[in-house]
Amino acid sequence: MRKAALHVAAGVLTLAAAAPALAGENDPLIINGQIEITTRTAAPAHLDGHLSEIRSGWTFRTDETQVMQMDDFDNPAMIYVDAATDAWNTVEGSADKSCASCHEGPESLAGFRATTPKWNAEAGAVWTQEMYVNNCRTERMGAEAWDWNGQDMRNMTALLASVSRGMPVNVAIDGPAAETWEKGREMYYTRFGQLELSCANCHEDNYDNLIRADHLSQGQINAFPAYRLKDTNLVSVHNRFRGCIRDTRAATFAVGSPEFIALELYVASRGNGLSVEGPSVRN
């Protein structure tokens, strides 16, 4: 309820402040008239000059799609954030706890999205947001794990992204995460499937080009989860990976697989310096 009122206030402010609500690829993305999003910035050093500038997928979309993300009132993904906020406060499991029991408000996890996937020393592995969420559920709440790609999990990742919006993506690629990162990098440049396409073929060598009617982006994941208009729902990072590799006529990898965890770390690192932007709106 309070949230709805805030949305209204934000909507009014935006109407008052912004003149025509159109955006171009060089225009800044400011959400709700207040959260400034870095959609273009210098590429991180570890890209070794493969890209000079990194760009959010937002810069490749049409005006109509871009505008939907400029105000939470227009962003169809925000209903899932609201659903996750309810889930956040819901006591579940044998320990009689909700997320809020330990973390208070979701804002307490601001920055989490910006730094995941990250090395989990206790587990001795790189963990994504989904793994942390499920660990909380099974180990602290005594609740059932959520399906990695299920609605509940996608909603929760949207909420976690939303409280980090505007913060720079900054995943660590060195130290104990280096091995996983290297594995992800190798995948990025591997030409999979009968079409023999690597991620780089389209998203590094050909971004900004049309492939049939589709405007190729850099494949950045700073804005995930994304609300895809064609799916009319949130899409997780791994589900997008799965679809891309399937589209090379390959035997794709599973959501939550070690391969996709490695790829997620690597692709996230390619966006170090862009803002966390999810939940975003894409076509």
Partner 1 sequence: MRTALASVVALTLCVGVAQADTITPEDVMFDYGEVAQSLTGTPGDAANGIKVMTNRGLGNCIACHQVTALEEYPYHGEVGPSLDGAGDRWTPEQLRGIVANAKEMFPDSIMPSFYKRSGYIRVGDAFTGKAPANESDITTLLTAQEIEDVVAFLVTLKD
State which residue, 142 or 243, has the beta carbon closest to partner 1.
243
**Closer residue to partner 1 (CB): 115 or 190:** 190
Q: Minimum distance from CB of 191 to partner 1 (Å)?
A: 6
Give Rg (Cα) of the chain. 19
253: DSSP letter: P
Three-state secondary-structure class, residue 268: helix
- CB count in 10 Å sphere of residue 283: 14
Q: Residue 147 or residue 247: which is nearer to partner 1 going by CB? A: 247
Q: Report, in Å, the least distance between residue 200 CB and partner 1.
A: 9
Residue closer to partner 1, measured from CB, 127 or 207: 207
Reply yes or no on whether 99 is catalytic: no
3-class secondary structure, 40: strand
Rounded distance, CA 91 to CA 207, Å? 45
The answer to whether 237 and 154 have CB atoms below 8 angstroms apart is: no
- Which pairing describes strands 226-228 and 280-282: parallel, antiparallel, or unpaired? parallel
How near is the Cβ of 194 to partner 1 at its closest, in Å? 5
- Least distance to partner 1 from the beta carbon of 216, Å? 8
User: Which residues share a beta bridge with 210?
Assistant: 215
**HSE value, Cβ hemisphere, 13 Å, CA-based, for 180:** 29
Positions in the binding site for partner 1 (CB under 8 A): 190-197, 201-202, 205-206, 209-213, 216, 242, 245-252
Active site positions, annotated: 244
